[in-house]
Amino acid sequence: MKKEEVQAAIIEAVHQVKSTNPMAPSITNTVTINFVANTQIAVGGSAAMVYMPDEGKTMANIAQAMYINVGTIFPIYEETLPQTAAKLHELGKNWVVDPVAIGIGELRTKLLNDFKPYKPSIIRGNASEVIALAHLWHLLDHPSESKVRGVDSTESVDQATEAALALALYTGGAVSVSGKTDLVTDGHHIAHSHGGSSFMGKITGAGCSLGGVTAVYACVADPFIAALTACQVFNLAGSRAEAKVKAPGSFQPQFIDELYLASAEDIAHNSFDFVTL
């Protein structure tokens, strides 16, 4: 695959989403539900928020792809999350998992460990979360030194490359690592997407909403293209929004506007590096 082919696939994914308005339901962090839904809608998708086990399985049947975020955990999720993941795996549908705050709390750790046999199509997290998940699933030989601090990363994106490759090769899908420069890999290719804004770290839900938008593109594209398209539109919209505002409070609505306004060609040609391994 060449970079020009990747750009063409990104353009096709953006056009497909805007023309078909696919629904990508989410089981997501309650702190960020509104922002996740608004960003999904802004790029051309449709949002639905799920809580109960029967809802998760029903949505898995209906939707083309789903998003699961473990940022806030409720007791009912001990049933909802594994049942939904199992149904998605059974149906062969794309799904995105965000291992927010992995290692904090026994239930969260158990749920993330239980996801392993269901092989999420896309894993999206910060560097520390990606490293910690690879160790939880015993995909790396050396001991873990990763320390997750709440939702924040203590490692760089480059430090997570080995873990991202191991996870992608195990799942057969893609891994998206968020940072100053985002990394996306399917184990055979690596892309680094540039842009974004420092304000993204000063609002709640930039990462969660990226996961939700990734699921929207996963409705119409393969995991690698879906993950990269989401990073590309976020980095483009982030840099454009920052150029028009002075602080985080005004950045968030401007960012949503820029997601909505971004053209397929501009998204595809936002700066990114691409290599085949």
Render pLDDT for 44-85 as a digit per residue (tens, 0 to 9): 999 999 999 999 999 999 999 999 999 999 999 999 999 999
For residue 162, give the CATH number of its domain: 3.40.1190.20
The answer to whether 23 is annotated as binding is no
State the chain's mean pLDDT as an integer: 95
Q: Which residue has the tokens 């891994």?
A: 175
Q: Give the H or E element holding residue 94.
A: strand 94-98
Q: Tell me how far CA of residue 103 lies from CA of 41, 71, 112, in angstroms.
A: 31, 11, 9
What is the average pLDDT across 93-119? 96
pTM of the model: 0.96
The answer to whether 178 is annotated as binding is yes
pLDDT confidence of residue 141: 85
The answer to whether 52 is annotated as binding is no
Counting every residue, how long is the chain? 277
Whether 186 contacts 173, CB under 8 Å? yes
pLDDT higher than threshold 50 for residue 150: no
Q: Into how many domains does the chain fold?
A: 1
The answer to whether 250 is annotated as binding is no
Exposure letters 18-36 (e unless 16+ CB within 10 A, then b): eeeebbbbbbbbeebbebb
First CA to last CA distance, the chain: 11
Q: Domain span at residue 108? A: 3-276
pLDDT confidence of residue 154: 60
Instruction: Report how far Cα 46 is from the mean position of its chain's Cα atoms.
Output: 16
pLDDT higher than threshold 70 for residue 153: no
Per-residue pLDDT of 168-191, as tens digits, reads: 999 999 999 999 999 999 999 999
pLDDT higher than threshold 60 for residue 15: yes
Residue 194's nearest CA partner among 236, 241, 245, 242 is 236
